[in-house]
């Protein structure tokens, strides 16, 4: 049964990585905008997750809105967690590529460390500070190719990537009690719908951009369904058989998979300095996650 859980968790990571690659194809080869992609994706994904939640729990979907405090927390989660993660991630892809977007978003636990240190009024341990420095140096190597006088990644890609990482921390912290009370599928589904509604205030989905072909539609379905509903379902199923910590470690292979897919599909150049930077970030964040 443990093997089954590990397969579910690894599948979730693979689906998330594939979703990022499909997003890059839509943004850079079919001229879709990140704002439209986020608007359409979040609405589709939200509806699907809500339907899955209703089918699996048979409860009242609107129970969470009966408590004003919980409803407010859900709205904040939908906008500053869900929407901010999606918008930051796809904007980073638009300015750079899926691999860089995935690895910089992967640094979300850094912000969780800062939050916990502030909440507990206690400095992080020396080991944690060392890992944070390694993460920073790794990102610097990825962004500069080792030449500190020149950025090879656009500044906006770094800014949007850090926004996505910060939103990952909010996404992880804000809904903890909500998920405990109402279940993850319901909370994430409503968060997607609320975030999608907010996204449509910025770019309505009925004003599409880009070129629609059979292939581009298939890539959108991968982004909206495989990369969200199916991946989240696999991750949730994995928790039935393995611990959250093991599931977290297995899903952490997403940046590595995204990098491999980018090299294969886009023939992305990746020299030894980038590999050093990638491994510094990857290993440091894995060790930081074990402390959370």
Domain ranges of the chain: 2-291
Dmax (CA) for the chain in angstroms is 58
Model pLDDT for residues 43-83, shown as the tens digit of each residue: 999 998 888 877 766 667 888 899 999 999 999 999 999 99
Q: Tell me the whole-structure pTM to 2 decimals.
A: 0.89
Model pLDDT for residues 214-272, shown as the tens digit of each residue: 999 999 999 999 888 788 778 777 877 877 666 767 777 888 888 888 888 888 878 88
DSSP string for the chain: -HHHHHHHHHHHHHHHHHHHHHHHHHHHHS---HHHHHHHHHHHHHHHHHHHHHHHH-S-TTGGGGSHHHHHHHHHIIIIIIIHHHHHHHHHHHHS-HHHHHHHHTTHHHHHHHHHHHHHT-PPPHHHHHHHHHHHHHHHHHHHTT-TT--SS-HHHHHHHHHHHHHHHHHHHTTHHHHHHH-HHHHHHHHHHHHHHHHHHHS-TTS--S---HHHHHHHHIIIIIIIIIHHHHHHHHTTTS-HHHHHHHHTTHHHHHHHHHHHHH-----HHHHHHHHHHHHHHHHHHHH-
Model pLDDT for residues 127-183, shown as the tens digit of each residue: 888 888 888 888 888 888 777 677 788 999 999 999 999 998 888 888 888 988 888
pLDDT at 39 over 90: yes
């Amino acid at each position: 049964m443990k093997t089954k859980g590990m397969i579910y968790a690894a599948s979730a990571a693979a689906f998330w990585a594939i979703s990022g690659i499909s997003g890059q194809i839509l943004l850079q080869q079919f001229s879709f905008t990140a704002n439209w992609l986020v608007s359409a994706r979040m609405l589709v994904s939200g509806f699907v997750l809500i339907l899955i939640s209703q089918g699996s729990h048979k409860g009242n979907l609107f129970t969470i809105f009966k408590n004003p405090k919980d409803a407010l927390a859900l709205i904040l989660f939908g906008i500053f967690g869900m929407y901010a993660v999606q918008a930051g991630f796809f904007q980073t892809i638009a300015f750079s590529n899926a691999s860089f977007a995935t690895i910089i978003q992967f640094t979300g636990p850094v912000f969780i460390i800062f939050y916990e240190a502030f909440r507990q009024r206690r400095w992080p341990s020396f080991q944690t500070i060392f890992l944070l420095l390694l993460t920073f140096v790794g990102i610097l190597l990825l962004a500069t190719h080792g030449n500190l006088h020149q950025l090879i990644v656009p500044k906006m890609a770094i800014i949007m990537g850090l926004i996505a990482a910060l939103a990952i921390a909010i996404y992880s912290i804000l809904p903890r009690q909500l998920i405990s009370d109402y279940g993850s599928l319901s909370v994430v589904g409503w968060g997607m719908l609320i975030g999608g509604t907010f996204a449509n205030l910025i770019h309505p989905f009925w004003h599409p951009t880009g070129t629609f072909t059979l292939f581009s539609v298939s890539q959108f379905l991968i982004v909206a369904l495989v990369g969200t509903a199916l991946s989240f379902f696999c991750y949730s199923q994995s928790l039935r058989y393995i611990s959250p910590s093991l599931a977290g470690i297995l899903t952490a292979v997403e940046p590595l998979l995204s990098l491999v897919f980018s090299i294969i599909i886009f023939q992305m150049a990746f020299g030894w300095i980038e590999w050093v930077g990638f491994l510094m970030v990857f290993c440091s964040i894995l060790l930081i996650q074990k402390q959370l």
